Amino acid sequence: MRHRLGIPVWTSAKCSGFPPFFLTIMSSFQPNNLFNVSGKVVLVTGGSRGIGKMIASGFIANGAKVYISARTAKACEETAKELNALGPGECVAIAADLSKLSEVERLVKEIAEKEKALHVLVNNAGAAWEESIDSFPDHAFTKVMTLNVQRVFNITQKCLPMLRAAAELGGKLGESYKDPARIINIGSVEGLSIQGTGHETYAYSASKAALHHLSRHLAARLGHEGITSNTIACGPFQSKMMAYTLETLGDAFVSSIPSKRIGTPEDIVGTTLFLSGRSGAWVTGATITLDGGQLFGPRL
């Protein structure tokens, strides 16, 4: 039985205990249904290392076909070879320097020639720069803002036809899309708060704050087309970007995090699968803080 708005009605005057409808849908509460991404087509930018590689690995481990991009062809191909050996999903490497608009267009064109639909777009590629406020160069600010914000918009824009096609494939229930296409933007806690007065990442923190708001704007605009947009504001994970901080501050840095550890692949993969499966189909415009409580811990 359904309410006139399409919402399931679980009660019935003709039965006692759990109604038949409830018993029928119990299987949909199982993890293999809530977080199922098997057969989905995914693009992870910056997918050859760090958080991007973790995310790509998680999708492939759960049966998705994942395209990864990175500036260096060798690194991209080596990661694809490694992940394909693990399976059961598939990894396809396409080297692309996303700081250039022409490369964004080429990357999307290559995927569109092979795929009719793109179910999940993970905007992970990014750049960081730390330097004293007195010497912070103009070209560095431009580089970081371009890659972390403008190119996210560019690649999302170019992928829209494939994202819309994925939403249509999932079918509709009334005016609502049953399995929306997903845009997942990898943000940072640096876009949510100032990480200490000596942390001089002016362009990076500004770019991530801008990315968080861009994601909300995309959610508002694309929701009625069956496309969600969410951000994961990441704290510290083992990556090239975090290597210097972890090396120089070490135990003191980890101890400042309320959870007393840095992020693991399971943390980012679990969050990404939640947003990509049935579990996250009604989540859009959200910024999920994934930092072990760092945002509320003491500043170093």
pLDDT tens digits for range 197-221: 778 999 999 999 999 999 999 999 9
CB 187 within 8 A of CB 287: yes
Per the structure, the count of domains in the chain is: 2
Q: What is the mean pLDDT of the chain?
A: 91
Residues 132, 109 share a domain: no
Residues 199, 78 share a domain: no
Residues 263, 147 share a domain: yes
Residue 256 lies in a domain: yes
pTM for the structure as a whole:
0.90
For residue 194, give the CATH number of its domain: 3.40.50.720
Residue 154 lies in a domain: yes
Residues 107, 210 share a domain: no
pLDDT of 297 reads 78
Residues 216, 88 share a domain: no
pLDDT mean for each 10 residues of the chain (300 residues): 52 53 73 94 97 98 98 97 97 98 98 98 96 97 98 98 98 96 97 84 97 98 98 89 69 85 96 98 98 82
Residue 31 lies in a domain: no
Residue 122 lies in a domain: no
Residues 258, 180 share a domain: yes
**Which domain does 79 fall in, by range?**
41-48+66-114
Residues 144, 78 share a domain: no
Residues 177, 94 share a domain: no
Residues 103, 249 share a domain: no
Residue 5 lies in a domain: no
Residue 276 lies in a domain: yes
Residues 80, 133 share a domain: no
Residue 164 lies in a domain: yes
Residues 153, 76 share a domain: no
Residues 291, 177 share a domain: yes
**Catalytic residue check, 202:** no
CB 190 within 8 A of CB 201: yes
Residue 32 lies in a domain: no
The residue annotated as part of the active site, out of 67, 177, 202, 204, is 204
- Cis amide prior to 88 (ω within 30 degrees): yes
